[in-house]
Amino acid sequence: MATSSTIPLLIILTLLSLTSPSLSDPATPVSPSTACNSTVDPTFCQSILPPSGSQNLYTYGRFSITKSLSNANKFLALINKYLSRSSSLSPSAVSALLDCQLLSTLNIDFLNSAAGTLSSNNTLLDPQAEKVQTLLSALLTNQQTCLDGLQGAASAWSVKNGLNVPISNSTKLYSVSLALFNKAWVPKTKKAKSKKGFTPSRVPTIPSGRRGLLESSDAVMVNDIVIVNKDGTGNFTTVSAAVAATPDNLDGTTGYYLIYVYSGIYEEYVNIPKNKRYIMMIGDGINQTIVTGNHSVVDGWTTFNSATFAVVGQGFVAVNMTFRNTAGPAKHQAVAVRNGADLSAFYSCSFEGYQDTLYTHSMRQFYRDCDIYGTVDYIFGNAAVVFQDCNIYSRLPMSGQSNTITAQGRTDPNQNTGTSIQNCKILAAPDLAGSPGSVISYLGRPWKAYSRTVIMQSFIDSLIDPTGWMPWDGNFALSTLYYAEYSNNGAGSNTTKRVSWPGFHVISATDVGNFTVTNFVLGDNWLPQTGVPYLSGLL
């Protein structure tokens, strides 16, 4: 069974240190077999570590990172080889390969960053350790996303057959790197900054009456401001053009590049790539500034690239905007926002779709005072993400469908990922509320083996079935998932009839503290500079 909360994991680590003293100190030389005992697949681990002699866990960890980087470069070369023959492939296969190409490029960046951090450091404190663990967790997420896209692509059998083994081997290798890193470098207890309130800094000048977040906080520092307005009176008429003009690779030390988007319906597909960092995008309000599209899996897009609005660039903040995918329930997977941006936040935004509305793909994320609408798996992905003070609305799905709010995608017990929902309201949208009893709704289901979701201090209305959670397929993941509820209220919050799965828990205040903003995403270290309000701990 997976150990998904911090307290049980610490107990297991303590027992291991008592029974195997050589593992208690990462600097102590141990055999490869001993080092590999902490990994998911010890046999595979032993096959890739140096077979002779004994090294310490730091050396083994660096070796596996170096080997992972070599593997990532070879895998990208293989993807590029297939794409060079794209004329002989179906459009859906090419689309899936392009996803793999992007994700592989990110993996190489992540591994280079991890290798640089670990090259001369045997001791890491948060937030350094948390950052590397986040990067290595994202490696596995990216490989799984590549595989999912290929499996869902029509007429891609030859590609899938050629990539199945490389994807499997790279996933195992990345899992070893993550496990060894966790064993050697991750502190046993997190030391997040205890930072209450915000640090004052200069407040930028923006159009009169449009100060919003910047008016309510003196914490937000901005280095430049541009205006998007459809009528041509701003700097740009489209959101995409404003993003393209953003300076590359800002580091956030001089503030955000602010894109102010006036009210209007922007029918475009916006992509914020990895080199567009520390963008703050502010609109005129929910249902005033709207970015909308209708890409879907049924119409030939992968789930990953069906997003109306996609973010990868670190430090992204969005405020007072609506993001839509209008494909409708019959088009199945159709993403409104896909977010893979580390240290990203959405405040007072609305996400509107049906199946797969909000793809919290990877990295560390925060959502506050947002509205999320959908039907099937409409908050899904494998980020470390906290939702706070949000309204979560289940809509009326297609006939015969059930609603599932979450589908968390953790694939490895060493990933620091999961979905934490705090002080939110889980409600029926008007169309579903008008059809009482016609649809069964659940809090979530396990998309991947180590799926992890915690719902705490939230209002759960009567739309949620008394069992609470829905299986994915038979007994899949029921003993390895981690689903937990704490101190919720409302007609759907009673846990007496909840599922009896080994992975489901009604937890205590001690355990739930692991999933607060302070502990789960180290929010005290980075949220103050966004200006977005947040609660560090429990209510």
Catalytically active residues are 377
Q: What is the dihedral of CA 31, 37, 41, 45, to 10 degrees?
A: -20
In DSSP terms, which residues pair with 31 in a beta bridge? none
Q: What whole-number distance in Å separates Cα of residue 34 and Cα of residue 28? A: 11
Backbone angles phi, psi at 221, to 5 degrees: -105, 130
Helix axes 157-184, 91-118, angle to 10 degrees: 20
Q: What whole-number distance in Å separates Cα of residue 319 and Cα of residue 296? A: 25
What's the N-to-C CA distance of the chain in angstroms? 31
Q: What single string gives the DSSP state of each residue in 76-102?
A: HHHHHHHHTTGGGS-HHHHHHHHHHHH
CB 322 within 8 A of CB 350: yes
**3 HSE (CA, 13 A, CB side):** 12
Per-residue buried b or exposed e for 360-383, using 16+ beta carbons within 10 Å of the residue's own CB = bbbbbbbbbbbbbbbbbbbbbbbb
Residue partners of 399: CB distance under 8 A and separation at least 6? none
The strand ranges marked E within 395-460 are 403-408, 418-422, 425-428, 441-444, 452-456, 459-460
CB 48 within 8 A of CB 65: no
CB 161 within 8 A of CB 78: no
**Token match 């049980």: residue?**
8
Q: What whole-number distance in Å separates Cα of residue 313 and Cα of residue 342? A: 7
For residue 199, the tally of other CB atoms under 10 A from its CB is: 10
What is the identity of the amino acid at 154?
A: A
Q: What whole-number distance in Å separates Cα of residue 539 and Cα of residue 535? A: 8
**Which of 390, 448, 388, 459 lies closest to 417, judged by CA?**
448
Q: What single string gives the DSSP state of each residue in 228-296?
A: E-TTS-SSBSSHHHHHHTSPTT--STT-EEEEEE-SEEEES-EEE-TT--SEEEEES-TTTEEEEE---
Instruction: Give the dihedral sign, CA 430/465/352/401.
Output: negative
CB 409 within 8 A of CB 441: no
